[in-house]
Structure 1
């Protein structure tokens, strides 16, 4: 099956509870950052999760705020992403927002639960990940 027809890694569902395809969900942002930026902080956070699953370092770096962007990005070998749950989204200002989420994955057989409250900023119509607090 084409990756664009497969279920989106972020797990977002439609009104009927069906998982959206990658092409209709995060795929329209991942790989198209220049022409189709995520419309809000939650969409950016979900697309960044999908980019981690797909190991798309270019998208992750492009959507990281310049003040915090790492020079390089490496992925942990043998990581298997298991799912994403968005807990809450807050608009904290006209151009700032926060998203609380839990991402689950396994690395070398060990289960990991990443619970974070991430901060985002919008500059020139584009949302960027700034940083986050892990719980």
Structure 2
């Protein structure tokens, strides 16, 4: 049991897959970045659309279907999510994040991954909405 806890602790101290850095340019750990939203979704929602988008990227890296479905707006939420075990996520670059008004925001990003030896770039402008519960939700996106 102790080795599992140690492995879990070291994984949470690893750099967050979303690539967010602090003011000095040092990579934030999973624990201090997206991990806190994924691990405590019920009590600690992402505070803005960019943080939600980054945490959703991290959820894809971790194949966390529960978090992805919980943060998908009910109007667009798929019934099932599948993950290809051959997918290797390589990185995320946020190009733009803008709040349109108190309830709407957009985040443009490029996510890179490799599947079956083929490199893929997913370039998307995602739309987010903040509901009455104060939580941000992913609605949909336009791919480029």
Which of 125, 128, 143 does residue 117 from structure 1 map onto?
A: 125
Which of 70, 81, 106 does residue 73 from structure 1 map onto?
A: 81
- Runs of 5+ consecutive residues of structure 2 not aligned to the other structure: 1-6
More helix as a share of residues? 2
Q: Deviations over 1:49-107 (max 9, x none)?
A: 00000000000000000000000100123000000000001111211100000000000
Q: Which residue of 2 aligns with 1:89?
A: 97
TM-score scaled by length of structure 2: 0.92
Aligned residues: 135
Runs of 4+ in 1 over 2 A off after TM superposition: none
Which of 30, 34, 59 does residue 26 from structure 1 map onto?
A: 34
- Please tell me whether Structure 1 or Structure 2 has the larger radius of gyration of its CA atoms: 2
- Runs of 5+ consecutive residues of structure 1 not aligned to the other structure: none
CA distance in 2, matches of 1:12, 1:111: 22
Q: Which residue of 2 aligns with 1:41?
A: 49
Q: Secondary structure at the match of 1:58?
A: helix
TM-score scaled by length of structure 1: 0.98
